């Protein structure tokens, strides 16, 4: 039996769900097919649970910073309690998300879907036919193809661990590896982070990455840079990672070496949708090589950071497009944060642009002794801001501090609004706050 829809969306994550609701407001008929949890990665096994678990790091760290400076006593992370606190938030997400779609008139299918040779979508016992289709199936953790790879756990497993082992290892120094390492260390584990070269977090300012690594090392994270893990073997209840001149026994090993797009079982070859290793190839209207099929969110092949608000923005774009708008998609500045204590945030043009182009000026500030950081005795706070000399605007920034997201969001607004620095300084912001410091940064 074939069911007809205006739009069929593959994937019920942030992008898919958001687009479905928007299309219902346009009175279109919509189906959403999801083979895993409705809500997708972000609220179930991504940003949201991660930052709930990170509350353990935040609280223990702020206490530790202030011990002897006004705070007496000590605290520790109780992992099972923290996991329960996380599950209170995450457990209801999938049903609530699906019910929200249903009550908005969206047909939902909890099935794995693929395009069949007729170009229609097989979803379990149903055939779904859309005037248009949108692929929003996201990504999943990549697993290094080495002997013993079956012993790898993923970030999804980490974010749902009933108990945290005494010794854990993360293989891959991207933002997920850094964030989970911080969480695990704060919760009392011995933590190793293995990275194949000496440029972890390669898309971030490397000076500040180096500071972050120094800080995490001081807190006890054991970094193994320039280290290739060639195999994993099970020895008793432990796993041994090994490579050239490298041997590391550990209780649990997580592969945090990036994520790969969920494209391989969608039957895209049946509908002529082209992909590369980064995902579905789209044009500047998010249209794939099949004019009736679009793609958005993490599954898209793009150099943009694959982030929740980017997925949401793309869903908003497609909602407008399906409603008749014709402009190509255009992105505002996209801030990215490696959450931790400190967090590392970046937005806009990288610091290096100022070296290459005299139009830009780089202002570097060590804020560690500034009031906002002294106040809570924070050990490390630095910022780099890139200024367009002629336009007198901020065009990029990297911030390393416990409050990096606060500063980065303010600076993102300055970039997006192309605010003259002089105009920013005419504003009166609440004092003393992280935001009221911005005038001293620029």
Q: Which stretch binds a copy of itself (CB under 8 A): 2-10, 15-23, 74-82, 250-258?
A: 74-82
Alpha carbon distance 186, 172 (integer Å): 19
70 touches a copy of itself by CB under 8 A: yes
214 touches a copy of itself by CB under 8 A: no
Q: How many residues bind a copy of itself (CB under 8 A)?
A: 75
Q: Which stretch binds a copy of itself (CB under 8 A): 157-165, 277-285, 383-391, 407-415?
A: 407-415
Question: What is residue 3's three-state secondary structure?
Answer: strand
73 touches a copy of itself by CB under 8 A: yes
Question: CB of 90: closest distance to a copy of itself in angstroms?
Answer: 10
Residue 149 CB-density burial (10 A; 0-12 exposed, 13-18 middle, 19+ buried): middle
The neighbour count for residue 181, using CB atoms within 10 Å, is 27
Q: Which of 408, 421, 441, 442 binds a copy of itself (CB under 8 A)?
A: 408
82 touches a copy of itself by CB under 8 A: yes
Q: Which of 333, 349, 387, 421 binds a copy of itself (CB under 8 A)?
A: 333
Q: Which of 56, 141, 261, 342 binds a copy of itself (CB under 8 A)?
A: 56
- CA distances to 128, 290, 350, 365, 382 from 208, rounded to whole Å, are 50, 43, 12, 12, 8
78 touches a copy of itself by CB under 8 A: yes
The number of C-alpha atoms within 13 Å of 220 and in the hemisphere containing its C-beta is: 14
Question: CB of 50: closest distance to a copy of itself in angstroms?
Answer: 9
State which of positions 9-48 bind a copy of itself (CB under 8 A): 42, 47-48
| Of residues 257 and 333, the one with the C-beta less far from a copy of itself | 333
427 touches a copy of itself by CB under 8 A: yes
Question: What is residue 116's three-state secondary structure?
Answer: coil
Q: Which stretch binds a copy of itself (CB under 8 A): 17-25, 157-165, 240-248, 374-382?
A: 374-382
Q: Which of 26, 62, 127, 260 binds a copy of itself (CB under 8 A)?
A: 62
Phi and psi at 261, nearest 5°, equal -70, 145
Q: Which of 69, 197, 233, 355 binds a copy of itself (CB under 8 A)?
A: 69
Phi and psi at 242, nearest 5°, equal -140, 155
Question: CB of 377: closest distance to a copy of itself in angstroms?
Answer: 7
β pairing state of 107-109 and 30-33: parallel
CA angle, corner 257, sides to 345 and 159, nearest 5? 75
| Of residues 58 and 122, the one with the C-beta less far from a copy of itself | 58
Q: Which stretch binds a copy of itself (CB under 8 A): 4-12, 78-86, 248-256, 354-362?
A: 78-86
313 touches a copy of itself by CB under 8 A: yes
The neighbour count for residue 109, using CB atoms within 10 Å, is 21
33-56: b (≥16 Cβ within 10 Å) or e = bbbbbbbbbbbbbbbbbbbbbbeb
Alpha carbon distance 278, 143 (integer Å): 15
């Amino acid at each position: 039996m074939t069911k007809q829809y205006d739009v069929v969306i593959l994937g019920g994550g942030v992008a898919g769900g958001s687009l479905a609701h928007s299309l219902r407001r346009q009175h279109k008929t919509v189906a959403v097919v999801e083979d895993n949890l409705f809500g997708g990665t972000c609220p179930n096994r991504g940003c949201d649970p991660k930052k709930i678990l990170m509350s353990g790091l935040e609280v223990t760290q702020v206490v530790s910073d202030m011990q002897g400076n006004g705070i007496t006593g000590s605290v520790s992370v109780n992992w099972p309690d923290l996991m329960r606190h996380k599950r209170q938030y995450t457990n209801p997400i999938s049903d609530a998300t699906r019910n929200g779609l249903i009550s908005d008139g969206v047909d939902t299918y909890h099935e794995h879907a693929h395009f069949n040779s007729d170009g229609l979508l097989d979803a379990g016992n149903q055939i779904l036919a859309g005037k248009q289709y949108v692929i929003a199936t996201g990504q999943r953790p990549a697993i290094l193809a080495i002997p013993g790879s079956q012993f790898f756990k993923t970030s999804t497993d980490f974010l749902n661990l009933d108990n945290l082992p005494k010794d854990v290892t993360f293989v891959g120094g991207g933002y997920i590896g850094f964030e989970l390492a911080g969480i695990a260390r704060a919760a009392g584990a011995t933590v190793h982070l293995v990275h194949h070269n000496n440029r972890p977090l390669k898309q971030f300012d490397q000076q500040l990455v180096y500071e972050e690594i120094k800080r995490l090392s001081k807190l006890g994270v054991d970094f193994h840079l320039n280290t290739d893990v060639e195999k994993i073997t099970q020895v008793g209840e432990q796993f041994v990672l090994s490579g050239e001149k490298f041997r590391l026994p550990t209780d649990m090993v997580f592969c945090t070496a990036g994520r790969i797009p969920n494209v391989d079982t969608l039957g895209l070859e049946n509908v002529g949708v082209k992909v590369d290793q980064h995902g579905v190839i789209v044009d500047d209207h998010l249209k794939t090589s099949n004019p009736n099929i679009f793609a958005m969110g993490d599954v898209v092949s793009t150099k943009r950071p694959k982030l929740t608000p980017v997925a949401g923005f793309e869903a908003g774009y497609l909602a407008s497009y399906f409603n008749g708008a014709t402009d190509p998609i255009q992105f505002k500045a996209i801030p990215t944060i490696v959450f931790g204590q400190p967090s590392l945030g970046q937005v806009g043009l990288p610091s290096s642009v100022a070296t290459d182009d005299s139009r830009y000026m780089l202002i570097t500030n060590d804020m560690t002794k500034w009031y906002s950081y002294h106040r809570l005795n924070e050990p490390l706070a630095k910022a780099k801001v890139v200024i367009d000399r002629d336009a007198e605007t901020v065009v990029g920034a990297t911030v390393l501090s416990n409050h990096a997201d606060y500063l980065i969001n303010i600076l993102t607004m300055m970039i997006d609004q192309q605010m003259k620095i002089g105009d920013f300084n005419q504003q009166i912001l609440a004092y003393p706050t992280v935001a009221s410091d911005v005038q001293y940064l620029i």
